[in-house]
Amino acid sequence: MNEHPPQPLALTVHSLQPPDLSDPTAAARRRTLAGRLRMLLVLAVCAAPVVASYLAYYVFQPQGRTNYGTLFEPPRGWPADLALATLDGASVAPSKLEGQWLLVAVGPAACEAACERRLLIQRQLREMLGRERDRLDKLWLITDAAPLRLELRRALESPPAPATLLRAPREALARVLAAEPGRTLEDHLYLVDPLGRWVMRVPAEPDPGRVRRDLDRLLRASSSWDRAGR
């Protein structure tokens, strides 16, 4: 005989999650925010090599290293009001020059002996880079409307590495560039990076070997993200 009296049957009721009655507009905002955060993360990953190369060159410089050229700190963008044009008068946006390192000469069309010497050094410096030379383009910003000598134009635009010749108002360039004391803007060569920023001024009457070392360091620092060709 069962000595224990029968026990009542116990039922356990588990609570149910209430249905999601949240505002669909708020849910859409959350999805949009998540998408933007993912996009910013992708952009940060893509930009990391560029930022790292500039930190390596401009900020975390090894002790005892000196630059021959003068660095613009911080680098300077193209003047907002700069009007660039081809020798035939067609307008050119500064953004069209991005994507390539540029070694820039500045001066009037009446290119005399000192000007021709700078253009020769400009060409030599590019060739001295060897297999990296295709990462550097030559640019001459002509600061007046005077005609260019035909033989000079042909020499500069001839293959295999023609220079880009554009007209640019000197007063606009003077707002972002500065010459050495006792010198003029025209006495120097300048370096523009692939992001369109003026990063260095080459000394007047430079030592090409020392300029090349500066160029080598900058090209090495950007080798992880910069490729030849605009």
- Would you say residue 6 lies in a domain? no
- Would you say residue 105 lies in a domain? yes
Number of domains in the chain: 1
AA letter at 63: Q
Domain containing residue 201? 66-221
Burial state string for 159-180 with b = 16 or more CB within 10 A and e = fewer than 16: eeeebbbbbbbbebbeebbeee
Residues 204 and 187: beta-carbon distance below 8 Å:
yes
Alpha helices in the chain (DSSP H): 24-54, 113-128, 150-157, 170-174, 208-221
Residues 6+ apart with CB under 8 A from 118: 105, 107, 189
Q: Of all residues in the chain, what percent carry a pLDDT higher than 90?
A: 63
Rounded to whole angstroms, the Cα distance separating 141 from 211 reads 20
Rounded average pLDDT over 41-65: 49
- Would you say residue 14 lies in a domain? no
pLDDT for 77 equals: 93
Residues 48 and 224: beta-carbon distance below 8 Å:
no
pLDDT band at 204; cut points 50, 70, 90: very high
pLDDT for 226 equals: 78
**pLDDT tens-digit map of 94-115:** 999 999 999 999 999 999 999 9
Rounded average pLDDT over 55-78: 71
pLDDT for 201 equals: 97
Rounded to whole angstroms, the Cα distance separating 196 from 94 reads 8
- Would you say residue 53 lies in a domain? no
- Would you say residue 55 lies in a domain? no
Per-residue pLDDT at 8 exceeds 90:
no
Range in 11-20, 91-100, 125-134 the model is least confident about:
11-20
Rounded to whole angstroms, the Cα distance separating 51 from 42 reads 14
**C-alpha 68 chain-centroid distance:** 21
Rounded average pLDDT over 12-34: 61
- Would you say residue 28 lies in a domain? no
Per-residue pLDDT at 56 exceeds 50:
no
- Measured on CA atoms in the order 23, 26, 32, 33, is the torsion positive or negative? negative
Per-residue pLDDT at 117 exceeds 60:
yes
Per-residue pLDDT at 165 exceeds 60:
yes
Per-residue pLDDT at 202 exceeds 80:
yes
Q: What is the pTM of this model?
A: 0.73
pLDDT band at 60; cut points 50, 70, 90: very low
Per-residue pLDDT at 74 exceeds 70:
yes
Residues 6+ apart with CB under 8 A from 203: 68, 69, 70, 180, 188
pLDDT for 80 equals: 82
Concatenated DSSP letters for 137-182? EEEEEE-S-PPPPHHHHHHHH-SSSPPEEEE--HHHHHTT--PPTT
- Would you say residue 18 lies in a domain? no
User: For all residues of the chain together, what is the average pLDDT?
Assistant: 83
- Would you say residue 9 lies in a domain? no
CATH number of the domain to which 139 belongs: 3.40.30.10
pLDDT band at 41; cut points 50, 70, 90: low
Per-residue pLDDT at 173 exceeds 80:
yes
